[in-house]
Amino acid sequence: MKIPRSWLREHVPEDLALAELVALLGELGTPVESVREVGEGLDGVVVARVADIGAIKGADKIRVVQVDAGGDDLVQVVCGAWNFEVGDLVPLATVGTVLPGEFAIGRRKMKGVESHGMLCAPDELGLEGDHSGILVLPTGLEPGVPFAEAMGITRDVVLELEVNANRPDAMSVVGVARDLAARLGLPFSLPEAKVPDPVGERRPTIVNEASDVCGRFVGQVLGGVAVGPSPAWIASRLALAGMRPINNVVDASNYVMLELGIPNHTYDLARLPGGGLRVRHARDGEVLVTLDDVERRLTAEDVVIADGEDTPVGIAGVMGGASSEIGDDTTEVLLEAAWWKPIAIARTSKRLNLRSEASARFEKGTDWTMIDLAVRRFAQLLGAVPAGPAVDVGGQLPDRAPVRLRVDRVNDLLGTSLAREAIAAYLDPIGFAATPDGDDLAVALPPWRLDSATEIDVIEEVARMHGYHAIERTVPRSPNAGGLTPYQRDRRLVRQILAGEGLLESWTTTFLSGAQIERCHLDLGDTVTVTNPLVAGEDRLRPSLLPGLLASIAYNESHRQPGAALFEIGKTFRRPVAGMTLPDEREAVAVAVAGGDAGDAVTAWHGLVEGLFVADARLEAATAPGMHATRTARVVVDDVGIGFLGEVDPGVLAAAGISERVAWLELDLERLLSSNHGADQYRPISRYPSSDIDLAFEVDDAVPAGDVLRTLRRGSDLVVDAQLFDVYRGGQVAAGSRSLAYTVRLQADDRTLTDDEVAAARAALIAAVEGSHGAMLRG
Amino acid sequence: MDLLADANKQIADAETLAALSALETDLLGKRSAIARSKAALGELAPEERKHAGRELNETRAAIEAALRSRRAELEEIERSAQLEAERLDLTELRPRRTRGHLHLVTQATDDLVDTFVGLGFTVAEGPEVETDWYNFGALNFPPGHPARNMYDTLYVDLGEPESTLLRTHTSPVQVRIMEQQPPPIYAVMPGRCFRRDTTDANHLPNFHQIEGLVVDHGITFGDLAGTLDAFIKAFYGGDIQTRLRPSYFPFTEPSAEMDITCVFCRGAGCKTCGRTGWLELGGCGMVHPNVLTNVGIDPEVWSGFAFGFGIERMTLMRHGVDDIRELISNDVRFLRQF
């Protein structure tokens, strides 16, 4: 909402420093987004007529222009704009002018040609508009007249306010003025709008068949209208408020809307068959061409205004139709000012994706008691004479019973100690008339604040008028011990472990394209789809962190950063499991090491096993979508598969534009952290000597070395540690097998082991490995 | 005293520990001059024997001391030679493993969370895909309410059209936590949110928020202002001021927008803060009675406040990053900076 300060001052006689005004509007909940000072720096700018345009030798972007600026001689300027012709009127900043932004105009020479001033674009004059060309002025102005005088520009400040959904009143100049007056303790006034008595008895026929949506409909015929430009002061004010002046009828209508917050509509009575209006619900599929020349298809939920022959001429509260638009030949106007149910207008506007200044106000809620003044104000501004009395048709209006406001409740919620009288004094000036009701207050709800309906709404008004800054700050004491959940603590540990492995934490977007998912061989059919994606095609929620991290690796490779070693923790999504509404949403952890191999994935995994003290973990040879066919293992914890590690399928890498190998690990973090893990009870360290034995087995290639290791670790109570230390193929070892050499440490808690005990344990381990894995001890 | 002088000379001349050991045998062993002289003592008269014996012992002790001292010297020389042989230019060495880094957003989230944990808050999380009820309905956005237009919502293809969505804020977690546990509640809820925003220097379609919720007896608007002020001072520094301005959110009332002293110019006015000296940080307010009622908490008995801030925005402000897209570039040159 853009409000010229001069307009505001017509309703509240404020005289604040600009910075104070801006701060105060912010404190009132209508923060100032921008401040534009207009009319500054226009001294020295005059109207000039273009008399001649000539080329400059050796220049193809600038031309030499002679203008008549009202003096005896033409003025020569050099200009880089091409949007005007000989005879056009343009603004000339004469030598010595200081334009807005401290832009001083001096005598200059360009390509050897003297320039005695500058022709101005709108932005250079501090006006609405861009820098694409010189401002070409309306015809009929006298050259040499000061530009500001010719255009009716007086010094002003335009305040652009941000208006929240709960402030319908702030969608009008008087609403903002009322709020300011209340806070400043100044008088607030509405325009008087004296209008001559009607000269006739013309009463338009108005029928309201949609009284559920239309709460009030007022129509009045105005005669003696001559369509033409508005007076300069109206046109200038509208322009400052960001609305393009069109003609006196449309401008008066817009002026009333901006000033009083009452959108209204004007019909050319001559183009309105039947001469009357009928408000009714639309028929499903009914069609109307709106003022913006777009055909709109309606439903029974929408309300239309139809003419006397039942043809729709406007969508209620949103936009009028093209057929009865005011034209140059309009002489009689039918003015409509109505109240529409906010939710109905919001629905229609949203479904048609058609938002207008009117719908923005109606959907927040307008003040039906202001309609009478709006009708008079329109006639006054247009200088038109009513051809008959206003016809006023009723409908269902909101129930605005007074609200009981408990003084204790106000103070309990705000942390204040306001007396009842002080509260009433805050509320009265903004229309929430408060009268004593026992110890409390009965508060009337103003029709311009339809957002306010309950006690808490009124408490907010008290807080606003008291000032948020004036409420004493306190800090409550939590009776709880703060802290993270075990899962959250473990997740931090996972991050620290992976960072300790030299990995950089990344975060990738949740949105993927179907093609990205398919390139990784992931199941597109199991993904969740965004129905209204911002970027067409990027409509899938990631089922895995793989596509995102591969994209990051490719990005780094293309920026001469090969070898990116990344990890990520984030949510992945699959379609809901049976009986659920929401997706199967799981937090995953993934590691991707460009230029690495499966060993890097195993290293990262072992870092997690050791760092988290995972009790029962193993790897099983496996295949998985997107992963290397022969270098992949399933990660099994507590006998449940929680993910895969190894390398990414070279074909997938090629499709992602990655030239290096990529080690990959992706786990279901929730399952990992719900597994049996964590350092538990202290195990005493044996004070007796240990014995190390080395065992080498010939084992078929199909048997994982890890399985043999698990057998050794469980093969005797005396085993305290076992490690694989050598893998050997060829030589004496049969083809299809390899030699796996382990070192095993034996130790008892309570004694030194005898040679016999060591020998017995060794025999037991050999028997276990040979028996379980078809392995053979090597001599 | 020829014997001692001679021995001292030989000891001083010994160049290695091995030579010194051999010399020790020569000087003190069974066949040494000392040993022989000791054996010959018996041939002397008693008076003389006593005198010669003492002299002999003194000589022996002196030789032993000289040997010890020389051995210590030679050992020191040998150690020095060994160390010299091991001399290394440590700047030639490369680290065997480089340390990884946590993402800037993670670091900021942890800092924010830890600050609130210090104030006695627990930490809650919730799903990123939500039902309309948790994201809007329970938060006092009735169907068709214009305030829903404040959020550009992304919907997913589950259930009835527009019944499931990517949460537009972390506020649904408020509802879930109030459903799950009785007051008093002091909790923060960090997490990823989604809006149909075009990616530019200030916007990402997925971003992170931290939500806060307090529900207890007698919680006031003053408590909200005081808690946020304490938090901001802990996070940005004690010289940063906070202010609340009236605003609108359907799930809080009174609602407020929180501004803090511009962290770049410390309030003096600069380009980033539009010369106002203030930066807008996020929304907050007293939990709306309808929200409490929706989750079965009696608003006449309990009251509370809630707030929500964008983590990226706070992070960018803290580190002077001028383009939010850096946060998702995953460019290793960026990731290694923090």
Q: Could you write out the three-class secondary structure of A248-270?
A: HHHHHHHHHHHHHCCCEEEEEHH
- Nearest residue in A to B331, CA atom: A556
- Nearest residue in A to B286, CA atom: A413
Amino acid B167: pLDDT: 97
DSSP classification of residue A526: G
Structure tokens at A699: 């084992």
Amino acid A392: pLDDT: 97
At residue A554, φ and ψ (nearest 5 deg) are -65, -40
Judged by CB atoms closer than 8 Å, whether chains meet at B196 and A534 is answered as: yes
Pairing of strands A2-4, A303-306: unpaired
Structure tokens at A242: 């960001």
Amino acid B275: pLDDT: 79
How far apart are the two ends of chain A, measured CA to CA in Å?
A: 92
Amino acid A565: pLDDT: 97
| Distance (Å) of CA A764 to CA A706, A711, A715, A757 | 19, 11, 7, 11
Residues paired with A339 in a beta bridge: A216
Q: Say if residues A197 and A390 touch (Cβ distance below 8 Å).
A: no
Q: Say if residues A644 and A579 touch (Cβ distance below 8 Å).
A: no
Q: Does B257 touch chain A (CB under 8 A)?
A: yes
Judged by CB atoms closer than 8 Å, whether chains meet at B331 and A559 is answered as: yes
Residues paired with B207 in a beta bridge: B193
Among the residues of A280-387, which ranges form H helices?
342-352, 357-362, 371-382
Q: Say if residues A394 and A216 touch (Cβ distance below 8 Å).
A: yes
DSSP classification of residue A169: G
Question: ipTM of this complex > 0.95?
Answer: no
For residue A166, list chain B residues with Cβ-Cβ distance below 8 A: 248
- Choosing among B98, B129, B136, B325, which should be mutated to test the A contact, i.e. which has the most A CBs within 10 A? B129
Amino acid B311: pLDDT: 93
For chains A and B, count residue pairs whose Cβ atoms are closer than 8 Å: 249
Among the residues of chain B, which ranges form H helices?
2-13, 17-28, 33-39, 46-85, 104-118, 132-135, 171-180, 221-236, 289-294, 311-319, 326-329, 332-335
Other beta carbons within 10 Å of B333: 10
Whole-angstrom Cα distance, residue A601 to residue A447? 67
> What is the nearest CA distance from B8 to chain A, expressed in angstroms?
48
> What is the nearest CA distance from B270 to chain A, expressed in angstroms?
15
Nearest Cα to Cα of residue A278 among A372, A210, A202: A210
Structure tokens at B84: 């010299």
Amino acid A379: pLDDT: 96
Structure tokens at A527: 């993904």
How far apart are the two ends of chain B, measured CA to CA in Å?
A: 76
CA–CA–CA angle A650, A653, A654 (5° rounding): 90
Among the residues of A401-452, which ranges form H helices?
407-414, 420-427
Nearest Cα to Cα of residue A716 among A758, A754, A779: A758
Whole-angstrom Cα distance, residue A400 to residue A391? 24
With the CA atoms of B4, B9, B10 and B14 taken in that order, what torsion angle do they form, in degrees rounded to the nearest 10?
Answer: 140
Q: Residues, chain A, total?
A: 779
Give the residues of chain A that fall short of pLDDT 50.
none
Amino acid A551: pLDDT: 97
Concatenated DSSP letters of B38-88 = HHGGGGS-HHHHHHHHHHHHHHHHHHHHHHHHHHHHHHHHHHHHHHHHT--
Tell me the residue ranges of DSSP E strands in A420-524.
Answer: 434-437, 440-443, 504-505, 511-512
For residue B329, list chain A residues with Cβ-Cβ distance below 8 A: 555
Judged by CB atoms closer than 8 Å, whether chains meet at B100 and A498 is answered as: yes
Whole-angstrom Cα distance, residue B240 to residue A180? 29
Q: Say if residues B305 and B223 touch (Cβ distance below 8 Å).
A: yes
CA–CA–CA angle B107, B284, B274 (5° rounding): 75
Q: Say if residues A25 and A69 touch (Cβ distance below 8 Å).
A: no
Q: Say if residues B310 and B195 touch (Cβ distance below 8 Å).
A: no
Whole-angstrom Cα distance, residue B3 to residue B36? 12
Nearest Cα to Cα of residue B166 among B204, B207, B128: B128
Residues with Cβ within 8 Å of residue B111, at least 6 apart in sequence: B235
Pairing of strands A565-574, A504-505: parallel
Whole-angstrom Cα distance, residue A458 to residue A440? 13
DSSP classification of residue A122: G
CA–CA–CA angle B9, B10, B13 (5° rounding): 90
> What is the nearest CA distance from B319 to chain A, expressed in angstroms?
17
Structure tokens at A382: 């247009």
Query: Sign of the C-alpha dihedral, residues A258, A260, A261, A262?
Result: negative
With the CA atoms of B307, B311, B312 and B316 taken in that order, what torsion angle do they form, in degrees rounded to the nearest 10?
Answer: 100
B positions 23-82 inside 8 Å of A (CB): none
> What is the nearest CA distance from B100 to chain A, expressed in angstroms?
4
Judged by CB atoms closer than 8 Å, whether chains meet at B226 and A499 is answered as: no
- Whole-model pTM? 0.85
Single-letter residue type at A754 = T
Q: Say if residues A180 and A11 touch (Cβ distance below 8 Å).
A: no
Nearest Cα to Cα of residue B257 among B107, B136, B150: B150
- Choosing among A164, A167, A490, A574, which should be mutated to test the B contact, i.e. which has the most B CBs within 10 A? A164
Amino acid A131: pLDDT: 78
Distance of alpha carbon A9 from the chain centroid = 34
At residue B131, φ and ψ (nearest 5 deg) are -85, 160
Phi/psi-derived region of residue A690, left when phi > 0, alpha when psi is between -120 and 50, beta in every other case = beta
Residue B117 is nearest to which of A166, A484, A561, comparing CB atoms? A484
Query: Sign of the C-alpha dihedral, residues A304, A307, A311, A314?
Result: negative
Amino acid A42: pLDDT: 87
Compute mean pLDDT per 10 residues along chain B, 338 residues long, and list them. Answer: 84 92 91 86 85 89 93 94 92 87 95 93 97 95 77 92 95 96 96 92 91 97 96 89 95 96 86 84 96 97 96 86 89 92
Amino acid B258: pLDDT: 95
